[in-house]
Amino acid sequence: TVVAPGAVHVPDWLSAERQRELVQACREWARGPVPLRHMVLPGGGVMSVRSLCLGWHWQPYHYARTAGDVNGARVAPFPGWLGELGRAAVAEAYGDERAAEAYAPDTALINFYDGAARMGMHQDKEERSPAPVVSLSIGDRCVFRFGNTGHRGRPYTDVELESGDLFVFGGPSRYAFHGVPRVYPGTADPVSGMRDGRLNLTLRETGL
């Protein structure tokens, strides 16, 4: 489903086996070198989501190789197989083999939501590459809110994301405001390997 130009939702794209592999990989990445943490915003606000990065460490609002806000460790590398998955995702969403081959994500931002976690409306603009962002959802269902490029207010398009869903944001949608106003606890399909909570992986090209 095309939600806006360049914003394509592909429900149930990840197989149950793929979802379990990703959940298992996230459990291992969460053991280190940098643990899951609640990010702290420059104004002192603490995000309810817990996050983890691969390849490059993102902290509000820049990328670095080391987790200066956690333990100073260098983040785990971005694995080649995740890049392949990103290229397959772009091919699936856009049906454009050229765009897919050219896609070279070098960082993943992994967010873990418990039932109370939310993400406010924001833009992702620390990346210097205009390449699309690939989003993979696993576990509990949520409301994903897609807004506008020029301002954070209405109108919004609300879309429910479920375990296994793919969303690709490129072209005119790349700098749109977006957020997650609600997660529905206890709605994860057990075949996903998530007992509770929601996992979202976003793959990006930093251009760094």
What does the DSSP 8-state code read for residue 83?
A: H
69 labelled binding-site residue = no
Q: Which residue is nearest to ligand MD3 (CB)?
A: 200
Q: Answer yes or no whether residue 160 interacts with Fe ion by CB under 5 A.
A: no
Among 67, 82, 119, 131, indicate the residue that binds ligand MD3 (CB under 6 A). 119
- Indicate the residue among 21 and 124 with the shorter CB distance to Fe ion: 124
Q: What is the DSSP string of 24-80?
A: HHHHHHTTSSS--EEEE-TTS-EEEEEEEEESSEEETTEEESB-TTTT-PBPPPPPH
Among 19, 59, 107, 111, indicate the residue that binds ligand MD3 (CB under 6 A). 111
Q: Output the CA–CA distances (angstroms, integers) from residue 103 to 20, 138, 161, in the order listed.
A: 24, 22, 24
Residue whose tokens read 């993979």: 136
Selected range binding ligand MD3 among 17-25, 73-81, 96-104, 166-174, rule: CB under 6 A: 166-174
Decide: 132 and 124 in contact? Cβ < 8 Å: no
- Burial zone of 11 (CB within 10 Å; 0-12 exposed, 13-18 middle, 19+ buried): middle
- Indicate the residue among 138 and 193 with the shorter CB distance to Fe ion: 138
96 labelled binding-site residue = no
- Indicate the residue among 75 and 180 with the shorter CB distance to ligand MD3: 180
Q: Answer yes or no whether residue 124 interacts with Fe ion by CB under 5 A.
A: yes
Tokens representing residue 59 in the block: 């902290």
- SS3 call for 159: strand
Selected range binding Fe ion among 116-124, 162-170, 184-192, 193-201, rule: CB under 5 A: 116-124
Among 26, 121, 180, 188, indicate the residue that binds ligand MD3 (CB under 6 A). 180
124 labelled binding-site residue = yes
Q: Answer yes or no whether residue 135 interacts with ligand MD3 by CB under 6 A.
A: yes
Output the CA angle 172-163-190, nearest 5 degrees.
170
Selected range binding ligand MD3 among 22-30, 69-77, 87-95, 170-178, rule: CB under 6 A: 170-178
- Indicate the residue among 76 and 166 with the shorter CB distance to ligand MD3: 166
d(CA 127, CA 74): 19
Q: Answer yes or no whether residue 50 interacts with ligand MD3 by CB under 6 A.
A: no
Give the annotated binding-site residues for Fe cation: 122, 124, 178
